[in-house]
Chain A
Amino acid sequence: MPTTSRLFVRASFLYLSLGAIIGALLLINRWIPLGSAVLALRASHIEFLIAGWLIQLILGVAWWLFPPMALRPRPGSSTPIRRGQAQRGSEPLFWTTFAFLNAGVLLQAVFAPLYTWTNVRAFNLLASISGLFLLVAAITFVINMWGRVRELGRRT
């Protein structure tokens, strides 16, 4: 598994653990009241489990397992343009996806409950822009992976 995928997958398991712990707190709160503030953590629970866990795991595993990009020889040469890890696509772009995805998850998971607790408008703004971060993550990922959605074994 390449380093890039490893980071995605490790982050996804951290979010799974966090999301499940918050879910347990939300259910415990129905039995032993922990305070109304706990209810605001529902936004973090959903964000951690959908975007942080499931989506991040899928992106990390897809980067690892999808067919590598086609080997194209350089014009006038027999050596290919891409070799090894470069055949997975652009690593900097994949790190960009990682940064935006996790920024989006954390913005929503941290600032949505903070806004509920404090009513500070800046927190609402920060939570609101989380969707734009996730959008950038989605677009960069699709651009990077598009060429790898192909028949396995074709070399050109």
Chain B
Amino acid sequence: MPSIARTFVKAAFVYFVVAFVLGALMMLERWLNFSRWLRVVYLSQLHLLVVGWITQLAIGVAYWIFPRFRKEQTPEPRGSDTLAWAVLIALNMGLLLRFLFEPFYLTGPQPWLAALLALSGVLQALAALGFAWLIWGRIRPMES
């Protein structure tokens, strides 16, 4: 597994654990009422699972196992490494921005918080478009 794919998959595992820790705390909070913050974190938790865990794992595995370009075609058989790293950084920065600031926005909306959330959305969308661009040429028969 190439290092970029390993980073995607390890990051996905981290989000998986963090999302489940949050999920457990959210369940316990209903009973123990120990943090009001946990009541507004549900959207972030959902995105940690769907984007941080499942989507990031799918991206990492696709990057690893999809048919590679021939060496005569390009020196980078999995496509541009720079673009792959940019996708990784944009996806995770977008996700972390949302995770860190959305609960504060939901408890007290401020324009600067809204701006950061908008930036997080743009970063995640750019990551999605970047990965679709990166992988598109590799969606092809194995033998050609």
Which residues of B are found within 8 Å of A119, using beta-carbon distances? none
- From B50, B62, B111, B122, contact of A28 by CB (8 A): B122
Contact A31 B135 (CB under 8 A): no
Tell me the bound Cα distance from A31 to B122 in angstroms. 12
Given the known interface contacts A10-B136, A13-B132, A16-B132, the answer about A31 and B58 at a Cβ–Cβ threshold of 8 Å is no
Q: What total of chain A residues lie within 8 Å of the partner, measured CB to CB?
A: 30
Chain A positions 4-37 with a Cβ under 8 Å from a chain B Cβ? 6, 9-10, 13-14, 16-17, 19-21, 23-28, 30-32
Q: What total of chain B residues lie within 8 Å of the partner, measured CB to CB?
A: 32
Given the known interface contacts A10-B136, A13-B135, the answer about A28 and B121 at a Cβ–Cβ threshold of 8 Å is yes
Tell me the bound Cα distance from A101 to B141 in angstroms. 23
Chain B positions 27-86 with a Cβ under 8 Å from a chain A Cβ? 50, 54-55, 58, 62, 65-67
Interface flag for B19 (CB, 8 Å): no
Which residues of B are found within 8 Å of A109, using beta-carbon distances? none
Tell me the bound Cα distance from A152 to B111 in angstroms. 56
Which residues of B are found within 8 Å of A9, using beta-carbon distances? 62, 139
Contact B128 A17 (CB under 8 A): yes
Which residues of B are found within 8 Å of A51, using beta-carbon distances? none
* 22 pairs, CB–CB < 8 Å, chain A vs chain B: A1-B66, A1-B67, A1-B139, A3-B141, A6-B139, A14-B132, A16-B131, A17-B125, A20-B127, A21-B125, A23-B125, A24-B118, A24-B122, A27-B118, A27-B121, A27-B122, A30-B109, A30-B118, A31-B114, A49-B55, A54-B50, A54-B54
Q: A16-B55, A20-B124 are in contact. List 10 more A-B contacts (CB 8 A).
A: A1-B139, A1-B142, A9-B139, A13-B135, A49-B55, A54-B50, A54-B54, A57-B62, A58-B58, A65-B65
